[in-house]
Every structure is written in structure tokens, then in C-alpha cells.
Structure 1
Amino acid sequence: MIVSIDVDAQKTFSPLCPNELPVNEGDTIVAELNAQAALADFRVMTKDAHSPSAKWLVQNPEEMLKPTGLKEADITWVSHAIVGSRGYELLDGLPLAQDYDYCVWKGVDPEFHPYGACYHDISEKLSTGLIEWLQSKGATLIIVGGLATDYCVKSTVLQLLKGGNWKVVVNASACRGIDPETVEAAWNEMYESGAIVLENAQEIDKFIKNQKVNF
């Protein structure tokens, strides 16, 4: 069973919201996300869903990435993905939330700022139910794309690799990252942890067809 996951493919992480956390070319991944989903039996959506009263919020971008002292929100961030805002919305061209097979909303609690989609907390104690849902569906191959490579995509992939007996493929063309240095480190960490990194959905399709295992 093949599952495709769109990780935080939201306007907040794109040039469409320049005052939030714009990722260069973050708005150009929709076609690849849709292409990888066409290879799958199920499609999952994850979204950052933050409160305007989040404890990790700072107004000045220069104050970002500083330690917060909070257990479940390690560093500060400027306002982004506030529920109901334009940045909270999925990128144009993606399905409506109700048209996905499973959805995860992350960081609703003002004291929490998780990165991976499998747990509500950085400590990885409070499950979002994603791993359990994947197990219930008999997932054997999980295809991941989204934003941003060096944070939420990486964390989600690493959690998935630890969470079940399935293969995890990352679609490089469906991902965009924030900083070249941390992006490179993220790709290396995902690969070394067991992820299969392929260039695009076309290459993923070839990979699936070439496997002796019937996904």
C-alpha cells in the first residue's frame, strides 16, 4: 500500500507570504506533489496550525532562532501559519483538506512548536496518530514531499523511518529548503537514516515498477 504525504505545503512557507517564513520557490512544488500522489493509494496532508498567542513568537526577524526555554518549542520564530490567515492556507492547486485521506494539524497549542508530523511534541511522546493510521492501512511505501526540507520534511521523514516497517521515499523535486547548508545536512541525515531520495515523481514511478516487492 502506497501513501503520499504533503508536508506543510502552505503559503506561509512561500514567497506568497513574504513577511512570514518564505522559502525560495516554495510555491512551485504543487505539480510534483500531485504527481507523487497519483502514484499512491492514499494521500495525507500536514499543516502548521499556530495560535497568535504562541509563546515562541517574536516580532523582529533578527530575534528568530533563539532558545525559548520552553520544553516543546525549542527556538523562536516570527508569526507564521496562524490559523485562519492566508499563510495557513495550502498552496493553490492542492486538494481541499476534506479531500485528503488523513490530516495532521501541528502546533495548535501555544507552547508547542513541533516539526515532524508524527508527534505533537519535540519529545516524541504525544502521537498525532499518523503512524498508527499508516499501520492500520498496511502502508509499505511512503512518499514524502513538502516544506521545508531542513525542518519539517526532515523531521517527518526521520520519525517515519523509526515508526514502522515500510520504505520511505523523499521526492527531491517536491521539496524546498531554507538554508543551503542546513538543507544539505538534512538530505545527508535522511539518506544515512535509510530514506530513499529520488529526483522526481517520474523516478519514483520507475522505482516502484522495478521493485520485486508489490507495494
Structure 2
Amino acid sequence: MTTIAIDIQPQYRFSCMAANEKRFLHQPENIVDELNRQARLADKRVLIENIGSTSGFFCQSCIEAPLNRSGSVFGKMKDHCRSNHLFAGLPCPADYDHAVETDGDYRHGVCFHDAKESRSTGLMEWLYRQQADTVILGGLATEEAVTNTAKQLMWYNRDLHVIVNLSACCGYTPETTLTAIADMRDLGITVATHSAAIPALSESFSLNALLKVS
């Protein structure tokens, strides 16, 4: 069986007020180290990149593919691999084992292009072909795409162990993040505080699954 790490929309655009209706994430690039750490616990790594049509509303700094950002000050693009606006420190899309582009609302889960779940992105089908039994999620934003993706994966495959690594995610506020965590735990989704806790949580999940079978 296979463990898959999924990077959900780790893009600078989600820290841009102009692109996000005044709802932006504070320093979301801080999740990069944890995304890389959880990927080392997995057999394969997947990139989910949102290519929504809101680029016309980006501020000029975001359009210029920011790098080495500090506060609201943006640097210039130094590497053609960064033209996709992924956070500095992440692999280029071509270096991922699989990549999925979503073109719908970035707030709902990334298993579908639309909120009605009528157009699959192909993610669940790819996971099935990989014989995935565990997925580790991180990305943006905790209360929206991350939580909704975890719920979709649990709904459509109850045998899948879904882990959300909070240190690899970024939420809007502590209050909304705590609500999302409670919702996920109520559904049986495993919530890890950081990547170092994932091996023990995976072992515990496997043991409980064996006990249920016996």
C-alpha cells in the first residue's frame, strides 16, 4: 500500500488581499518546511494548484511572482520554476509525482472542480490507482480547501486514513481553525499538530483497524 502527501494550493496568491476579497492568510509561506517534512514520510507527493481566473485582480507584487517575501515587501522573480507562484522552497511542479490543476472556487475541496461535485479533478481516481491507504494533507486554507478535501476523501473512501497536518496548513483565524479541527475529528479524520507526530498516529490507526477486523 502507499502513503501520499498532498500539497493543497501552496501559492502566494492566497496572501494577496486583492485576489481574496480582503480575506487573506498571514504569512502562509511558513508552511513550506512542514510540507517538505511530511513529504519525506510518504511514498509519493502530489501538488494541487489552483488556476482560477482571478489573476486580473492580483496586486502588482503578486503578478510579479514574489520571492523572499518579508511582510508586504516582495522580491523579483529569480527562477523560471517560480512562475507558477508556488512558495519558495517547494519543488517545481514537474518534480512532484503527480499534479492536479483546479479551476473552480478555491474554497471547496480539491477532489472536484465544482461545489456540486459533478466534475472530478481526477485526484481520487489517481489515489485509487496508486493503492493509497494513507494521505497526509497540508496547504491552504485550513478551514476551506484542506478541511473540505479531507471530508471528500473520507466520504468517498472510508478505508482511507486521512491525516491533516496542522503545521503544514494555514488558517484565517484561531477560532475558525478550531471549529474546522473539531469538525474533522468528529468525522474520524486524524489531525496531527506537526509532522513528527504522524508516524505514531499512523501506527495507532493501523492497530485500531486490526482490532476492529479481529
Normalising TM by the smaller chain, what interval?
A: 0.7 to 0.9
CA distance in 2, matches of 1:85, 1:103: 23
Runs of 4+ in 1 over 2 A off after TM superposition: 17-22, 83-88, 179-182, 205-214
- Residue 125 (structure 2) aligned to one of 120, 128, 132: 132
1:209 offset after TM fit, Å?
4.5
Deviations 1:158-191, CA, capped at 9 Å, x for gaps: 1111122211011011111013332222111111
Aligned residues: CA RMSD? 2.4
Letter in 2 for 1:7: I
CA distance in 1, matches of 2:98, 2:184: 23
Letter in 1 for 2:133: T
Q: Which residue does 1:51 correspond to in 2?
A: 53
TM-score scaled to structure 1, two decimals?
0.76
Letter in 2 for 1:86: A
The percentage of aligned residue pairs carrying the same residue is 36
Contact 2:25 2:171 in 1 (8 A): yes
Contact 1:168 1:195 in 2 (8 A): yes
- Residue 65 (structure 2) aligned to one of 70, 86, 89: 86
Worse-matched range after superposition: 43-52 or 24-33: 43-52
Q: Which residue does 2:40 correspond to in 1?
A: 38
1:18 offset after TM fit, Å?
5.2
- Residue 96 (structure 1) aligned to one of 59, 71, 92: 92
Asked if 1:25 is matched to 2:19, the reply is no
Contact 1:12 1:86 in 2 (8 A): no
CA distance in 1, matches of 2:172, 2:119: 27
Asked if 1:146 is matched to 2:155, the reply is no
Asked if 1:178 is matched to 2:172, the reply is yes
CA distance in 1, matches of 2:11, 2:134: 24
Show structure 1 runs of 5+ residues with no match: 55-77
Q: Which residue does 2:194 correspond to in 1?
A: 200
User: Judging changes above 3 Å, is the alpha-carbon distance between structure 1 residues 207 and 180 closer, same or farther for their aligned structure 2 residues?
Assistant: closer
2:33 is paired with a residue whose SS is: helix
Show structure 2 runs of 5+ residues with no match: 67-83
More helix by share: 2
1:94 is paired with a residue whose SS is: coil
Deviations 1:19-65, CA, capped at 9 Å, x for gaps: 444311311001100000000011111111122488xxxxxxxxxxx
CA distance in 2, matches of 1:12, 1:160: 25
TM-score scaled to structure 2, two decimals?
0.77
1:90 offset after TM fit, Å?
0.8
User: Judging changes above 3 Å, is the alpha-carbon distance between structure 1 residues 137 and 85 closer, same or farther for their aligned structure 2 residues?
Assistant: farther
